[in-house]
Amino acid sequence: MKIAFVGKGGSGKTTLSSLFIRHLATTRAPVVAVDADINQHLGPALGLTDAEAAALPPMGGHLPLIKEYLRGDNPRIASADTMIKTTPPGRGSRLLRVDEENPVYAACARPVRLDGGEVRLMATGPFTESDLGVACYHSKVGAVELCLNHLVDGAGEYVVVDMTAGSDSFASGMFTRFDMTFLVAEPTRKGVSVYRQYREYARDYGVALRVVGNKVQGRDDLEFLRDEVGEDLLVTVGHSEWVRAMEKGRPPHFGALEAENRAALETLLATADAAYGRRDWERYTRQMVHFHRKNAESWGNERTGADLAAQIDPEFTLDENALLALPG
The 10s digit of each residue's pLDDT in 247-279 is 888 888 999 999 999 999 999 999 999 999 999
- pLDDT score at 249: 84
- pLDDT score at 133: 44
- pLDDT score at 239: 86
Q: What is the DSSP string of 213-272?
A: EES--SHHHHHHHHHHHGGGEEEEE---HHHHHHHTT----GGGS-HHHHHHHHHHHHHH
d(CA 163, CA 55): 20
Q: How confident is the model at residue 130 (pLDDT cuts 50, 70, 90)?
A: very low
Say yes or no to pLDDT of 12 above 80.
yes
- pLDDT score at 250: 86
The 10s digit of each residue's pLDDT in 164-187 is 866 666 666 888 999 999 999 999
Backbone CA torsion sign across 247, 251, 255, 260: negative
With CA atoms as reference, report the closest residue to 83 among 265, 245, 282, 296.
Answer: 296
- pLDDT score at 77: 97
User: Per-residue pLDDT averaged across 39-68, rounded?
Assistant: 93
d(CA 31, CA 29): 6
User: Per-residue pLDDT averaged across 314-322, rounded?
Assistant: 91
Q: How confident is the model at residue 294 (pLDDT cuts 50, 70, 90)?
A: very high
The pTM assigned to this predicted structure is 0.93
Mean pLDDT of the chain: 90
- Residues for the chain: how many in total? 328
The 10s digit of each residue's pLDDT in 140-171 is 788 999 999 999 999 999 999 999 866 666 66
User: Per-residue pLDDT averaged across 209-220, rounded?
Assistant: 93
Q: How confident is the model at residue 137 (pLDDT cuts 50, 70, 90)?
A: very low
Q: Please report, for residues 73, 112, 140, 205, 287, the alpha-carbon distance to residue 87 in angstroms, rounded to integers and kept in the order given.
A: 14, 30, 15, 19, 12
Is the separation of the CB atoms in 198 and 183 below 8 Å?
yes
- pLDDT score at 91: 95
Q: 126, exposed or middle or buried, with CB in 10 Å at 0-12, 13-18, 19+?
A: middle
Say yes or no to pLDDT of 295 above 70.
yes
Q: 183, exposed or middle or buried, with CB in 10 Å at 0-12, 13-18, 19+?
A: buried
Rg (CA), the chain: 19
* Span between the terminal Cα atoms of the chain, in Å: 30
- pLDDT score at 168: 60
d(CA 72, CA 80): 9
Q: How confident is the model at residue 320 (pLDDT cuts 50, 70, 90)?
A: confident
